[in-house]
Amino acid sequence: MSSLHLDDFTDLIERPDGGVRRDAEARRERQIVPPGALGRLDDLGEWLAAAQSTARVRPIERPRVVLFAGDHGVASLDVSARPAGSAATLVRAVLEGGSPVSILARQSNVPVRVVDMALDCDPGDLPADVVRHRVRRGSGRVDIEDALTPEEAEAAFRAGMAVADEEADSGTDLVVLGDVSVGGTTPAAVLIAALCGTDASVVTGRGGVAIDDLAWMRKCAAIRDSLRRARPVLGEPLQLLAAVGGADLAATTGFLLQCAVRKTPVILDGVVSAACALVGQRIAFRAPDWWLAGQSSGEPAQRKALDRLALEPLLDQGVSVGEGTGALLTLPLVRAAAALAAELPEKPTEDTAEAAEAEETTEAAERE
């Protein structure tokens, strides 16, 4: 019998400090730039204040990109523009610095961590620190079989929790979350359709690298068949992840929830992280208060999930490449919001004006 009690997250996760947020709002009203004039940067600054439990926001000094990686058996149906089992190639590009997220991270001086949960390659092909949490080689084909055994689902979920604890313990103050997968948008769409009670056609998108119409129809059919397998376990999140998710999705869900426990803010990237966030919301309703939606990838399933989560993307650039790339683009906005909230001077009050006038009079007298 499993010793993992998902109900505990409801008790362990607290909302960001509402009292501090009110103090931050009051402080913002005293600053020289009128409230609202900075648009969403005002909201971001107040959100950061609540997450940090301080009305004077601290700068984001130790952000980290965390990417959960895996291959999905459903990719063998040619529902992805990339060959089935090729996610390891994408991981190597990230590690070697040639992927979009690596280039942006290098420009922003942000470290990138890749966590292999189910890549379809020999673990010896990748660094030991990348593969140490792996639970299996590739996740099952979700349209006809479970992605994971119950034991593997729990192991992946716990691995995600462990990674969140490692990041919190190392001082990471903001996580940019993403995935490196082939076929991952298909189980993500299944999870979103199941949890939102919608049809396959509503959530079927074109994936990170746009697929043609025939591939879209195959993907839609795979999602439809997977939904039939998802509905009987809809009330059991861990069973749902085992049936139609995957090791990387189970780990991401555990990671998100444990980040909320540890009060570590997270920026979500695309449809995969949105799907995991939706599962996380089903487990602990306060958890989404610790997450930001980084960007709109254009995937219909992502829009559906973010609407249910009541999260509005910070950017709408249509970046669908995955790997946390779109979410990382929002980091300068978050850092700007933190700097403005902390450093904008306050309007002078009568007391400060009188003090300044008295100081000027004293200085004039001394000069005479």
CATH of the domain at 25: 1.10.1610
Write out the E strands in the chain.
63-71, 112-118, 174-182, 266-268, 291-293
Identify whether residues 170 and 288 lie together within a single domain.
yes
- pLDDT at position 368 is 54
Whether residues 207 and 353 fall in one domain: no
- Which of 323, 346, 359, 368 is catalytic? The answer is 323
Q: Give domain status of residue 9, yes or no.
A: no
11 found inside a domain: no
Domain that holds residue 283: 63-331
Residue 184 within any structural domain of the chain? yes
Is 7 a domain residue?
no
pLDDT at 205: 87
Q: What is the DSSP letter of 144?
A: T
Q: How far apart are CA 75 and CA 222, in angstroms?
A: 10
Same domain, yes or no, for 120 and 210? yes
What domain count does the chain have? 2
For residues 282 and 351, state if they share a domain. Answer: no
pLDDT at position 207, please? Answer: 73
Q: Is residue 10 domain-resident? A: no
- Report pLDDT for 126: 97
The whole-number pLDDT of residue 148 equals 98
Q: Does residue 4 lie within any of the structural domains?
A: no
* Three-state SS at 72: strand
263 shares a domain with 141:
yes
DSSP 279-306: HHHHH-TTGGGGEEE-B--S-HHHHHHH
Q: In the prediction, which pLDDT does 268 show? A: 98
CATH of the domain at 168: 3.40.50.10210
**Which ranges of the chain have pLDDT less than 50?**
1, 352-353, 355-356, 358-359, 362-363, 366
| pLDDT of res. 351 | 52
In a shared domain, residues 73 and 52: no
In terms of domains, do 33 and 110 share one? Answer: no
Residues 322, 345, single domain; the answer is: no
323 labelled catalytic: yes
pLDDT of the residue at 317: 86
Q: Residue 120 falls within a domain, yes or no?
A: yes
The answer to the question of residue 6 being in a domain is no
pLDDT of res. 363: 47
Whether residues 103 and 235 fall in one domain: yes
* Amino acid 355: pLDDT: 43
